[in-house]
Amino acid sequence: MKRIIDFLKKTLLAAVALAVVLGIVIGKIAPLWFVRIFTTFNVLFSSLLSFTIPLLILALITGAIVETDRGAGKMIIWTMALAYVSTVFAGLFTYAVSDGVFPSLITMHISENTDTSGILPAEALAPYFRIDFPPLMDTMSALLLSFILGFAIIKYNHHSIRSGVIELKDVVMMIINKMILPFLPLYIFGVFLKMTVSGEMTIIVNVYLKVVIVMIILFIVWLLIQFLVAGMIAKRNPFKDLATMMPACLTALASSSSAATLPVTLRCAHKMGIRRNVVDFVIPICANVHLSGASVRTIALAVATMIMFGQPYSFGLYLTFIMIFSITVLAAPGIPGGVIMAATGLIQSMLGFSDPMIALMVTLSIALDSLGTAVNVTGDAALMVIVDKVTKDENIDNKETVSCPVQE
């Protein structure tokens, strides 16, 4: 039993999966008073999460700005710009497909296969009490303030403030690791327990199975698009490059970690015949900032969830969200579920997600984390090919290789 508990502590996906299964199973027999206990816990946990998210954004993005002042010149500018553009276009591509496919897919399934007469009213499962922890600022204010502080610190070279920002980042990461993530499976258990008791679970499971199938197709198509574009720009065979990166892709699928995959990614990238210093420079940076797979996953799940819960959306809303999301996740913590944790505040404030919607997003994002990581890792090589092409006239033989902690 102790080994099982230790394993669950170390493996967030296993803990979340167990929480989902227990929530569904126990929800079949649980009395209402038992469910309301966990509803109360979830209200408190959600309030704490809302308080923490702006601090997380402020600390991580400010820290990322002051820590990337490395004077790396043209190459880092191209790498950062391409990573951002790729993440944005991955989100826009996913939105276009999701908006075209999901409305008919989800609406038709619900209307034909779902009986909602047995769903309990929300009042029957209300929390016993609630305590609100108002955030010090909203997420957009935190995002703006992080840019102001970060660039001011770089411009005026305030070493003491720089150290304070980095220490704040460490404190926020401690809160995430010690207070948020350990209780996240319990929160997810409470959400699935409540949805099972209320009668909503059958609808959700059936609908999201189809969404996941569409999402896997999106992952494959986006990888092909990245390598086709890189191949056209650099006049290379995109299919050969993609095949060369397959060991890294499979390693990422198995490990769900860019950190664990980095040695394999570097080895595969070196086999592509790109200048060695370009490989050693671009791949570690992209492991932090190129998150197109996470963008595909997040946007597809967000659109499906909004349709599922009958919440209106528009292209303008998602255009703004994708552009800000692509900046926010640049500093996502290198922990399992780091991207969705960093994006939760934006999803709540910009898309108007409720607690059950957020819980579904977190659960499915973690469950599909390995797929997103595989797309991130494999797509890094496509960006590397472009960077090698556009910087071919730059003398980088004596540039120092940038070594960065990587996302998971």
Supply the pLDDT for residue 256: 64
Supply the pLDDT for residue 124: 61
Supply the pLDDT for residue 115: 46
Lowest mean pLDDT among 216-225, 320-329, 365-374: 365-374
Supply the pLDDT for residue 240: 92
- With respect to residue 396, please indicate whether it lies within any of the assigned structural domains: no
Lowest mean pLDDT among 116-120, 298-302, 352-356: 116-120
Supply the pLDDT for residue 108: 57
Average pLDDT over residues 358-365: 80
Is residue 375 pLDDT above 70, yes or no?
A: yes
Q: How far apart are CA 184 and CA 50, in angstroms?
A: 14
Residues above pLDDT 70, as percent of the chain: 78
Average pLDDT over residues 294-317: 90
Average pLDDT over residues 391-400: 54
- With respect to residue 232, please indicate whether it lies within any of the assigned structural domains: yes
Kindly report, residue by residue over 15-30, the tens digit of the pLDDT.
777 887 888 888 888 8
Supply the pLDDT for residue 1: 46
Supply the pLDDT for residue 360: 80
Is residue 322 pLDDT above 90, yes or no?
A: yes
Q: What is the CATH number of the domain that holds 297?
A: 1.10.3860
Average pLDDT over residues 126-134: 79
- With respect to residue 363, please indicate whether it lies within any of the assigned structural domains: yes
Confidence of residue 255 (pLDDT cuts 50, 70, 90): low
Q: Buried (b) or exposed (e) across 128-141, using 16+ Cβ within 10 A? A: eeeeeeebeeebee
Kindly report, residue by residue over 140-196, the tens digit of the pLDDT.
677 678 778 877 887 777 777 778 877 887 887 787 777 777 887 888 788 778 777
Confidence of residue 44 (pLDDT cuts 50, 70, 90): confident
- With respect to residue 159, please indicate whether it lies within any of the assigned structural domains: yes
Summary mean pLDDT of the chain = 77
Answer yes or no: are the C-beta atoms of 363 and 353 closer than 8 Å.
Answer: no
Confidence of residue 385 (pLDDT cuts 50, 70, 90): very high
- pTM of the full structure: 0.70
Is residue 116 pLDDT above 70, yes or no?
A: no
Residue bearing the bigger pLDDT, 126 or 153: 153
**Cβ contacts of residue 232 below 8 Å, gap of 6+?**
238
Is residue 277 pLDDT above 90, yes or no?
A: no
Supply the pLDDT for residue 332: 61
- With respect to residue 401, please indicate whether it lies within any of the assigned structural domains: no
- With respect to residue 407, please indicate whether it lies within any of the assigned structural domains: no
Lowest mean pLDDT among 132-141, 308-317, 348-357: 132-141
Answer yes or no: are the C-beta atoms of 241 and 230 closer than 8 Å.
Answer: yes
Kindly report, residue by residue over 205-230, the tens digit of the pLDDT.
666 778 888 989 999 999 999 999 99
Q: How many domains does the chain have?
A: 1
Residue bearing the bigger pLDDT, 91 or 126: 91
- Most confident option among 90-99, 143-152, 331-340, 362-371: 90-99
Residue 42 lies in domain: 2-390
Is residue 273 pLDDT above 80, yes or no?
A: yes
- With respect to residue 404, please indicate whether it lies within any of the assigned structural domains: no
- With respect to residue 398, please indicate whether it lies within any of the assigned structural domains: no
Q: Which residue has the tokens 């998602």?
A: 318
Is residue 118 pLDDT above 50, yes or no?
A: no
Supply the pLDDT for residue 228: 95
Q: Which residue has the tokens 């499979």?
A: 250
Supply the pLDDT for residue 404: 42
